[in-house]
A and B are shown apart, each in its own frame.
Chain A
Amino acid sequence: MKVLLFLSDAMIPLLIFSIVGYGIMQKQKVYDDFIEGAKDGFRTVIDIMSTLIGLMVAVGVLRASGFLEFVSGGLAVVTEKVGFPAELLPVSVVKMFSSSAATGLLLDIYKQYGTDSFLGLSASLILSSTETIFYTMSIYFMTAKVTKTRYTLAGALLATAGGMAVSILLAGMM
Chain B
Amino acid sequence: MNYLWGGMILIGIVFAGFNGTLPAVTEAALDSAKEAVTLCITMMGVMSFWVGIMKIAEKAGIIDGAAKKMAPCLSFLFPEVPKSHPANRYIATNMIANIFGLGWAATPAGLKAMEELGKLNIERNGPRNAHIATREMCTFLIINISSLQLIPVNIIAYRGQYGSVNPSVIIGPAILATCVSTLIAVVFCKIMYCGRRSVR
Are A and B physically bound partners?
Answer: yes
- Chain A residues proximal to chain B, CB less than 8 Å: 3-9, 11-12, 15-16, 19-20, 22-23, 26, 28, 30, 33-42, 44-46, 48-49, 52-67, 70, 94, 97-98, 101, 103, 106-107, 110-111, 114-116, 120-121, 124-125, 127-131, 133, 136-137, 139-141, 143-152, 154-156, 158-160, 162-163, 166-167, 170-171, 174
Q: Is the interface of B mostly helix, strand, loop or mixed?
A: helix
Given that A12-B171, A67-B11, A148-B131 are known contacts, is A52 also in contact with B177, CB under 8 Å in the complex?
A: no
A115 touching B147 by the CB < 8 A rule?
no
- Shortest Cβ-Cβ A-B pairs, 9 listed: A37-B55, A4-B172, A41-B51, A60-B32, A163-B181, A64-B28, A65-B16, A128-B152, A61-B12
Q: Is the interface of A mostly helix, strand, loop or mixed?
A: helix
B60 touching A19 by the CB < 8 A rule?
yes
- Chain B residues proximal to chain A, CB less than 8 Å: 1, 4-5, 8-9, 11-13, 15-16, 19, 21, 24-25, 27-29, 31-33, 35-37, 39-40, 43-44, 47-62, 104, 107, 110-111, 114-115, 117-118, 121, 130-133, 137-138, 141-142, 144-147, 149-152, 154-155, 158-159, 162-178, 180-182, 184-185, 188-189, 192
Q: How many A-B residue pairs have CB under 8 A?
A: 344
Given that A61-B25, A63-B28, A116-B165 are known contacts, is A22 also in contact with B60, CB under 8 Å in the complex?
A: yes
Chosen A-B contacts, 27 in total, with CB atoms closer than 8 Å, are: A4-B172, A8-B173, A9-B168, A16-B53, A26-B60, A28-B59, A34-B53, A34-B55, A39-B48, A56-B33, A56-B39, A61-B28, A64-B21, A65-B21, A106-B155, A120-B159, A124-B159, A125-B174, A144-B114, A144-B133, A146-B130, A147-B131, A152-B142, A154-B188, A159-B142, A160-B181, A174-B173
